[in-house]
Structure 1
């Protein structure tokens, strides 16, 4: 009887899991298709294009959830009331039919499901993939941040103008505008490198998790700080090249780097350069720890055997 009851319980849990998954697919497949189509073909709004790192982040999050499925099944069923609250909020967001709220309903409902089915242990188990989903969910954050990027725009314009002048070109900087040979290039809010910065931080988190360095506070802080600096420098170089192309009348090259796949290639090469930096930092910060452990082991008394 106990075995039959266990089998019935397991079958019920499997059916419920299949039902929940099917409902999520039914609700969010059109949303995800819209996101991916917009990111790939640049048909989504400018603000939502800032979250195009979801092209790699969302599949990676799904892979991590699938990898943790056995650990999830072994967790005891433990309902937390906050899960019901979040599920209700997520449902309200979805039913508003407002793009921003519908988008946010996905991570809200997923967190609510974790708490409702497995409590905080379930949320802890799937915390990182849920974070990746949240950070890849298109919101109005870039639109809200854009008005405050003027100092960064001015810094980029001034530095790019300085580099061009040192290269022998006639560049004049006026605020966020660069005049090269009488032709103007504006470092607009969306040219201030926010998209590259968002993508850089996102990819860095993925690399830190993949290499098991996310638990190391020193590696995480140093790597993220270094990546932010590299992202800003890379964006300055990109704006300098764009100003050069536009100022010298190379419009095809300007459009390739600014609007076409040239910008994606540039960002990809910058992100690839972060991998050896992370490997070096991981080795550098782990070496003192290994030396400290070896010293502690040498101070321990020898084991006494019979």
Structure 2
């Protein structure tokens, strides 16, 4: 585990925490960024918060920083665009690189890749204005509708009829042109955080909402986070191995989180990879780290250290 003194020695200049941005997840990003900022300050690491919505954000990094902690969720903060700009500057940054970020952000492309590799994921399809929604429901039955390139459950709706699917499609279209439907999986939901090349303890998610939506993630106080997750040792190892395989399959590095469902037959089904997970008071990676014996400050230091060593 990273020693703070060693980390301070590795840093050439102060660290920029990139937060805010333009995406629909801006509010969550601001919370994550402020938490990361405070954790670094508490460890006497020179740090500055920079909002990528500011027109001079790239210039400020180029002139004053050699290291960036990315706390941007969704949008160009996770799709590889920002990562490419930072690489052009020659600065180090936390998390996955350009290509892996792009793969993870595009749920449709990612799931096609998993299918080709034989990794389990629920049946899905991309829909558009010309899609026959009646046939979609006939093919999949109950579905969950998702913007292909958003996180935090933004724009997601369950649909069981063509009429519900039409309304859900229009809601998802508010967050981008690409919309996917995924066959609904009835069962337990898990998330597995990854730090370096290791998985952290799995967390089981339980909510009284229809699914683990935005409100259940960030607002509700009755969402249940179960860790240990309740699986026996063999099944949890299977879950962790699948999550790590999904993470590495698209080239992800550093840290992240993989969301998984367990269907009624007990089989695990991959949902998505998050390359810049939330770091708020409700967030899952800090919970998993705590279960593994890591404080929030230690977690932040380790993520930063991993970015310096790659």
Q: Give the TM-score, by structure 1 length.
A: 0.30
Of structures 1 and 2, the larger Rg is shown by 1
Higher relative contact order (CA 8 A, sep 6+): 2
Relative to total residues, which structure has the larger strand share, 1 or 2? 2
